[in-house]
């Protein structure tokens, strides 16, 4: 940063302070929450005088909590598969193609991402009823899948726009029909984008509360379970569960970040 002119130094120090203050703002609440999970008392509050792993052992012994984790992960995986399939298809249609109604199709594609959470949940709830989908796993998977499609489309379109058209033409020229061309040229090229989008969808689905809450049956997803527990008061078990969820999502996110960056570098 030595190349920056001296002139802006005062600003820089000031802005650096704001940046680090912001880092504290986003990290401190989470760190405190994690610490609270190790406090040797049922009472949530500071100061912490002694430490324990009791809450964690309790949580991991609880099969209901474990099955909720599994339920949430299953929903995330299934909805992601659908979103990726549909989103990639839409992206292939929209990218670099001109046709009547393209703008409208693109706008409609983005719609689920722009509808405020509660409204989207309500609309899905009503639509599910109309379609005859019972509240439960199927309904949640469906709602998550629809909600996440726009993100997949945007990520895949961005990648697709950098694929030289000559690659497609070369494959066709060498005797590949459109489908084989897609499978052998386009799809391998899209892999980094699809992986990145998959991770994003998994996290969105795993973290989603409002759609899971309104479309769920008796079995709660993880955020819904934490919400229900919170309504009856704070407890260290919640901290333990939330911490496990936090570590899980942050680890997946970090791994994906590194992985997609490496893939992008290779190409």
Partner 1 sequence: MTYDASTRRDGQSAGSTAADRTFWGRLSAWGPYHALMRLTTASPRRQFLILAAFPILWVLTQHLGPMLQMLRVSLTDAYPVAPGVEQSFTLDNYARFFGDSIFWMPFFRTLTFAGVFTFCTLIITYPVAYFLARHVSRKNQMLFLLLLLIPFWVGEIVRTYAIMILLGNTGAVNLALKTLGLIDRPIPFMYTSFSMGVGIVYLTALYMLLPLYSALEKLPQSMNEAAADLGAGAWTRFRRVSLPLTIEGISSGCTLVFLISTGFYATPVLLGGPSTTVFAETIAGFFHVAGDEWPTGAAFATIMFLAALIITTVFQRLMKMLRKGESA
Partner 2 sequence: MTDPEPLVRIEGLTKHFGETVALDDLTLDIARGEFVTFLGPSGCGKSTTLRILGGFERPTRGRVILDGADVTNQPPEKRQVNMVFQDYALFPHMTVAQNVSFGLELKGMGKAEIKRRSDEILSFLELESYGSRYPIQLSGGQRQRVALARALAPDPALLLLDEPLGALDAKLRGQVQQELKSIQRRTHKTFFFVTHDQEEALTMSDRIVVLNHGRVEQDGTPEELYFRPASRFVAEFIGETNLLSGRVRGKEDDKIVMDWHGQTLRGLAPQGSPDQGEPITASVRLEKLQFHSERPEMPNAVRGRVVGKTFLGSRMAMEIAVDDVEDAMLRAYVDAETGARVGSDPVWIGWDVDSMAMLTD
Residue 262 within binding range of partner 2, rule CB under 8 A = no
Residue 174 interacts with partner 2 (CB under 8 A)? yes
Output the smallest distance, CB 137 to partner 1, in A. Answer: 18
Total residues in contact with partner 1, by rule CB under 8 A: 92
Residues 120-179 that bind partner 1 (CB under 8 A): 120-127, 129-130, 146, 149, 175-179
Terminal Cα distance for the chain, rounded: 29
Q: Binding string, 196-235, against partner 2, x = CB under 8 A?
A: ----------------------------------------
Instruction: State the binding partner of 189 from partner 1, partner 2, none, CB within 5 to 8 A by kind.
Output: partner 2
Q: How many CA atoms, within 13 angstroms, populate the side-chain half-sphere of residue 248? A: 15
Class of residue 17 by CB neighbours under 10 A (exposed 0-12, middle 13-18, buried 19+): exposed
Query: Considering the rule CB under 8 A, would residue 176 count as an interface residue with partner 2?
Result: yes
Is residue 203 close enough to count as binding partner 1 by CB under 8 A?
yes
CB 205 within 8 A of CB 148: yes
Residue from 24, 53, 66, 108 binding partner 1 (CB under 8 A)? 108
Q: Which does 164 bind (CB under 5 to 8 A by kind): partner 1, partner 2, none?
A: partner 2
Least spacing, CB of residue 173 vs partner 2, in Å = 5
Distances (CA, A) of 88 to 108, 123, 160, 226, 241: 15, 24, 10, 33, 34
Q: Answer yes or no whether residue 81 interacts with partner 2 by CB under 8 A.
A: no
Tell me phi and psi for residue 51, to 5 degrees: -120, 155
- Of these, 173, 251, 254, 257, which contacts partner 2 (CB under 8 A)? 173
Our CB check for partner 2 shows the closer of 18 and 174 to be 174
Binding characters for partner 1, 26-55, by CB under 8 A (x = yes): xxxxx-xx--x------xxxxx--------
Q: Which is nearer to partner 1, 193 or 239 (CB)?
A: 239
Q: Can residue 183 be called a binding residue for partner 2 (CB under 8 A)?
A: no
């Amino acid at each position: 940063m030595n190349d920056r002119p001296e002139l802006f130094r005062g600003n820089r120090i000031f802005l650096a302070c704001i940046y680090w203050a912001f880092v504290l703002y986003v990290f401190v609440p989470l760190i405190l929450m994690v610490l609270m999970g190790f406090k040797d008392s049922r009472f949530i509050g500071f100061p912490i005088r002694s430490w324990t792993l009791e809450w964690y052992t309790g949580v991991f012994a609880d099969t209901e909590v474990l099955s909720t984790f599994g339920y949430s992960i299953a929903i995330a995986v299934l909805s992601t598969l659908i979103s990726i399939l549909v989103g990639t298809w839409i992206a292939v249609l929209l990218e670099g193609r001109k046709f009547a109604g393209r703008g409208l199709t693109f706008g409609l594609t983005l719609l689920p991402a722009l509808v405020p959470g509660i409204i989207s949940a309500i609309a899905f709830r009503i639509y599910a009823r109309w379609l005859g989908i019972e509240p439960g796993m199927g309904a949640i998977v469906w709602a998550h899948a629809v909600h996440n499609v726009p993100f997949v489309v945007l990520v895949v379109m961005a990648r697709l726009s950098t694929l030289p058209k000559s690659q497609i033409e070369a494959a066709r020229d060498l005797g590949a029909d459109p489908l084989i061309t897609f499978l052998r040229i386009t799809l391998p090229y899209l892999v980094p984008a699809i992986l990145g989008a998959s991770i994003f969808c998994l996290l969105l689905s795993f973290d989603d509360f409002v759609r899971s809450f309104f479309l769920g049956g008796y079995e709660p997803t993880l955020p819904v379970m934490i919400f229900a527990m919170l309504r009856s008061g704070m407890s260290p078990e919640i901290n333990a569960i939330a911490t496990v969820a936090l570590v899980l999502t942050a680890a997946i996110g970090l791994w994906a970040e590194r992985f997609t960056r490496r893939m992008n570098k290779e190409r």
